Amino acid sequence: MKRRTYSDLHAYQLKMIDWMLTNDKCALWAGVGLGKTVTALTAISNLLESKSIQKILVIAPLRVAKFVWSQEIDKWDHLKHLKCAILHGTIKKRKELLSDPAPIHVINKELVKWIVAEMAGKKKWAYDCVILDESSAFKNPRSKRLKYLKMANHKINRMIQLTGTPASNGLLNIWSQMFLLDNGERLGRTFSVYKDMYFDSDYMGYNWTLKGGSKEDIYLKIADKCLTMAKEDYLELPKCSKNFIYLDMAGEFLRQYKALERDFVLILQNEAITAQQSAVLSNKLLQFCGGAVYSDGNMENGVLLQNITGNKSWITLSTAKIDALKDVIEESSGEPMLVAYNYKHELARLMEAFPNGRTIKTEKDINDWNSGDVPIMFVHPASTGHGLNLQYGGSNLVWFSLTWDLEAYDQLNGRLDRQGQTKPVFIHHLVFRDSIEERILERLENKHLTQTDLLNAMKELFWTIAYHSGE
C-alpha cells in the first residue's frame, strides 16, 4: 500500500496539529473519521524533533492499543521514522517492554494502575507526554483508572485528550476529563464541588439536572482547553440515513415480556428468571427483545441444555428479530452487512441462522471485510467501536439489539460513516414497539442533543476566543 504524505493532510487536520503543538494540556473533541490519530502522531513527531518531549505514553482501548497506532504510522511517509512499542502480555513481558527505546509506548486503558505503580518505583516519571485516546474512558470520577492517573498527573508535562464523545451521558462526564488537564482550576477540585456548583439533584441524590445558566458557564470555562470539530463541517460524505423497523410482540412472547416488566419475576419453563434491581431488569428486558434470555441457575429437567454459551444457558423465546433481519438482508440485494449484537446467545443464534456470517477475530477478518469478501459480519459494539476502518467493505449496519451507551452507538455507526466511504450509509434498527428498546432510542437521541449542544457551543466559543485574542 502506497504511503500517504504530509501534503495529503487536510487543512482542518493542520489546525488540529497546531492546536496540540501550542497547548501543553488540551483536548481535541473531533468526530469519528476526522483523523485524530494521524494528527496526534504528526504533533508528536514535531515535538520530538524540536526536543520538546522525549517519551510518549498512549493510553487507548484494547483493540486500538494493539493495532491502530502502529498501523497509522505505517500509512504515512512523514511518520515512518517513528517507532511504537505496544506494552501487553504478561507482567514480565510488559516490564521488559518498558525499556524498549521506541519513543512511543502504547498501553490499553486497563493497565493504567500497573503503569503508574511501575513508574512509582522509578526515580522519575518516564513519559513527558501522555495521550488519552478516547478520553471518555476516564469520565467516571470514581473509576480506578482515573484515580491512579490523577496520582501521576502532576508529573505529566503534556497531555492530549482525543475523543468524539466527551459527554456521552451529559455534562457530568466533563469534570474528570477537565481535571486531568488543569487539576480542577476550571470546574472545581472535586467532583462534589462541581456537582454542587452547577447541578441540582432530586431528594434521593440519583438524578442531577443543570442549574439555570450553568451550561453556558461550563462551556465558557473550558473553551480554551478544548478544540471541537464535527465531521459534518469538514467532510463531504455520502448521505447517512437511519431506518427504524418496528416489530410487534404477540401472544405468549408479549405476555412473558409484560410479566417480567411488571413483576420483575418470570417463571419460564420451570426456571426462575429474576430481576431484583432496575439495572438487572433492564438487562433481562433487552435479552427478551433479542429473542432469548439467560437462565439464572441450573436448568431443571434438562430443559434446553444444548443451548450453552460459556457456563450460561438460555431459553429461546422468539425468532421475530432473526426473521426481520432476513428480510433486511434480502431487501439489500446482497450488499455486505454489519450486524450489531449485545449477547453471546444472540451471536450463537445469528451464526446458526446465517452460516455465511463471520465475526472479527483477526486482522484478516477486517481485511476480508474491506475487500468485499464477507457478506455478513457480526460485531459487538464494545469490541469494534474504536479504531477500526470498516467503511471500504460495505455501507449497511443493522442494530439487531441496542445499547444504552451513546459512545458505543456513535462509534460503531462511525465505522461505516467516515472518510473513505463511497456509498450512502444505511443504519437499520430492529425495534420492538412498546418495549425497552423504544426508551433506549429516546435516551440515545436525548444524549445526542446534550452532546451536540456541547460540541456546537464549544466550537462557537473557541472561535470567539480566537477572534478576540487576534489569532
User: Which domains, from first to last, does the chain contain?
Assistant: 6-234+453-468 (3.40.50.10810), 240-441 (3.40.50.300)
Q: Give the residue-averaged pLDDT of 221-242.
A: 87
Handedness of CA 142, 62, 10, 422 (dihedral sign): negative
pLDDT at site 270:
57
pLDDT > 90? residue 208: no
Q: Give the residue-averaged pLDDT of 222-239.
A: 86
Give the lowest-confidence range in 30-44, 190-204, 390-404, 448-462. 448-462
pLDDT > 70? residue 194: yes
What is the rounded CA–CA span in Å between residue 300 and residue 152? 52
What is the rounded CA–CA span in Å between residue 357 and residue 114? 38
CB-CB neighbours of 31 under 10 Å: 22
What is the rounded CA–CA span in Å between residue 12 and residue 37? 14
Pick the closest to residue 22 from 467, 461, 466 (CA basis): 466
Mind listing the pLDDT tens digit for each residue in 369-425? 999 999 999 999 887 766 678 888 899 999 999 988 888 888 899 888 888 888 899
Give strand ranges (E) for 65-215. 84-86, 104-108, 129-133, 158-163, 199-201, 208-210
- Higher pLDDT residue, 452 or 206? 452
Q: Which residues of 391-425 are buried (b: 16+ CB within 10 A; e: fewer)?
A: bbbbbbbbbbbbbbbbbbbbbbbbbbbbbebeeeb
CB burial of residue 99 (10 Å; 0-12, 13-18, 19+): exposed
pLDDT at site 236:
78
What is the rounded CA–CA span in Å between residue 2 and residue 448? 38
pLDDT at site 300:
37
Mind listing the pLDDT tens digit for each residue in 238-271? 888 999 999 999 898 998 888 887 776 655 555 6
Pick the closest to residue 141 from 131, 150, 132, 154 (CA basis): 150
Mean residue pLDDT across the chain: 86
Determine the 3-state secondary structure of 337 from DSSP.
strand
What is the rounded CA–CA span in Å between residue 158 and residue 153? 10
Beta-bridge partner residues of 313: 308
Mind listing the pLDDT tens digit for each residue in 166-179? 887 789 999 999 99
Longest pairwise C-alpha distance within the chain: 77
What is the rounded CA–CA span in Å between residue 61 and residue 385? 10
Residue 53 is given by DSSP the state: -
Mind listing the pLDDT tens digit for each residue in 293-347? 887 654 333 333 334 344 467 888 899 999 999 999 988 888 999 999 999 999 9
Beta-bridge partner residues of 427: 242, 397
